[in-house]
Amino acid sequence: MTRRRSVPLTIAMLAALAYFLLPLFWLAIASTKSTQDLFTSFGLWFSKAPQLFANIADTLTHGDGIFGHWLLNTVLYAVVSALGAALLAATAGYGFAKFRFRGHGAGFNLVLGAVMVPATALAIPTYLLFSQVGLVNTPWAVILPSLVNPFGLYLMRIYAEDAVPDSVIEAARIDGAGEAGIFFRIALRMLAPGLVTVVLFTLVATWNNYFLPLIMLNDQSLYPVTVGLASWAAQAQNGGAGSSGEMLPLVLTGSLLSIIPLVVAFLVLQRYWQSGLATGAVKQ
């Protein structure tokens, strides 16, 4: 497919791109400013005394380097949740796609129906249940709920129906392979592109999760970066003793730093995803 490239289309898309990047441009500029410059200089351009590295150093060293701690927590919660959720969704999606059993339809519909009820209804009951089993204020309180991804299940079922041909499964059965063996050795590889998609989306969702960890965690050393940054921002966004606008540069720089790993992860994952999709398309 070698086609002539279109200049107007490219220009139109770059204009659209500017819209999507404008807020981030502001954030990047703001990360280079001191408290004073933040409030006195024009937002969309550098001030006279940019101090990005000083801000980064402040962010990383404030409160005995707690920010690095938060970032690591986020990585831990997000990666464990994303891998776990993808594996669970792939296994179950394959099960729903390739097997028929009692409660098949009801089970699947229940999972999808549950998404319709807003999570606000679940927050307090989940807290009460978790506190009964001692999970509150532990990493599991954040990770466990993220492991169940109904959208992931939906995607993996659709994906498995197309990507894993029945003939391949039948052939493996005739060769005497066990069901678990077929899944882990043959099907899982075919599901890889879908799996990466679920990993990516769960990763983003957990990375940006705010409400759940806010409710579940009390220990600052367990906070993910979203809750941590919000606790810094609260010092600038509420009045009262101990509050100060001086935290804002740290909040902004911290926000910028917290987005970067996700963008990098997306770039890296995208390559797998791309090749996976290509093979998926050819195979059929």
Partner 1 sequence: MSTVKHRSAGPWFVAPFLILFALLFVTPLGYAAYLSFFQHKLIGGTVFVGLDNYAKAVTDPQFLRGVLRVATFFVVQVPVMLLLALLFALALDSGLMWLAKVVRLGVFVPYAVPSVVATLMWGYLYGQDYGPFAQLSRFLGLPVPKFLTDSWMLGSLANVVTWEFVGYNMIILYAALRTIPGELYEAAEVDGAGAWRTAWSIKLPALRPALLLTLLFSVIGSFQLFNEPKLLQTIAPNVIDSSYTANLYAYSLAFTGQQVNYAATVSFLLGAVIVVVSYTILITANRRRQP
Partner 2 sequence: MPELVPQHALSRRSFLAAAGAVSLGAALAACTGSGGSAAPAAERVSQADIDKAMATPTELVFWSWAPEIEQEVALFTAKYPAIKVKVQNAGQGTPQYTKLRTALQAGTGAPDLAQVEFQYLPTFTVLDSLLDLRPYGADALKSKFVDWTWGQVSGAGGEIFAIPQDTGPMGLLYRQDIFDAHGITVPKTWDEFAAAARKLHAAAPDVYLTNLAANQAAAWHGLLWQAGEKPYTLSGKSDITVAVDSPGARKLAGYWGGLAKEGVIGTETDFTDSWYASLNNGKYATWITAAWGPAFLSGSAKATAGKWRAAPLPQWDPAKPSSGNWGGSTTAVLKSTKNPIAAALFAQFLNTDPATTKMFTTKQFFFPATKALLADPSFTGDAPAFYGGQKVNEVFSAVSDTVSPSFQWPPFLDQAVTDWTETVGKSLADKTDTAAALGQWQTRITTFAKNQGFTVQGG
72-91 residues in contact with partner 1 (CB under 8 A) are 88-89, 91
The one of partner 2, partner 1, none whose footprint includes residue 3, by CB under 5 to 8 A per kind, is partner 1
The one of partner 1, partner 2, none whose footprint includes residue 77, by CB under 5 to 8 A per kind, is none
The one of partner 2, partner 1, none whose footprint includes residue 241, by CB under 5 to 8 A per kind, is partner 2
Measure the CA–CA gap between 72 and 191, rounded to whole angstroms. 29
Q: What secondary structure, in 3-state letters, does 47-82 show?
A: CCCCCHHHHHHHHHHHHHHHHHHHHHHHHHHHHHHH
Judged by CB under 8 A, the residue of 115, 168, 171, 268 near partner 1 is 115
The one of partner 2, partner 1, none whose footprint includes residue 176, by CB under 5 to 8 A per kind, is none
- Does 1 sit near partner 1 (CB under 8 A)? yes
For 70-154, list the strands marked E by DSSP.
none
The interface mask with partner 2, positions 49-78, x = CB under 8 A, is --------------x---------------
Judged by CB under 8 A, the residue of 10, 61, 109, 220 near partner 2 is 220
Sign of CA dihedral 209, 233, 28, 31: negative
Tell me which residues in 99-128 interact with partner 2 (CB under 8 A): 124, 127-128
The interface mask with partner 1, positions 223-242, x = CB under 8 A, is ---x--xx--x---x-----
Q: 166 or 246: whose CB is closer to partner 2?
A: 246
Measure the CA–CA gap between 92 and 110, rounded to whole angstroms. 14
Measure the CA–CA gap between 93 and 161, rounded to whole angstroms. 9
The interface mask with partner 2, positions 236-255, x = CB under 8 A, is xxxxxxxxxxx-x-------
Cα angle value 167/173/174 (rounded, 5°) = 90
> What's the distance, Cα to Cα, between the start and end of the chain in Å?
19
Which residue do the tokens 């394959």 mark? 94
**Residue 82 dihedral angles phi and psi, to the nearest 5°:** -65, -45
- Does 71 sit near partner 1 (CB under 8 A)? no
Number of residues that bind partner 2 (CB under 8 A): 35
Q: What is the DSSP letter of 164?
A: S
Residue 207 in contact with residue 82, Cβ under 8 Å? no
CB of 259 to partner 1, least distance (A): 6
Binding residues for partner 2, rule: CB under 8 A, are 35-36, 38-40, 63, 124, 127-129, 131-132, 134, 136-137, 214-215, 218-220, 231, 234-246, 248
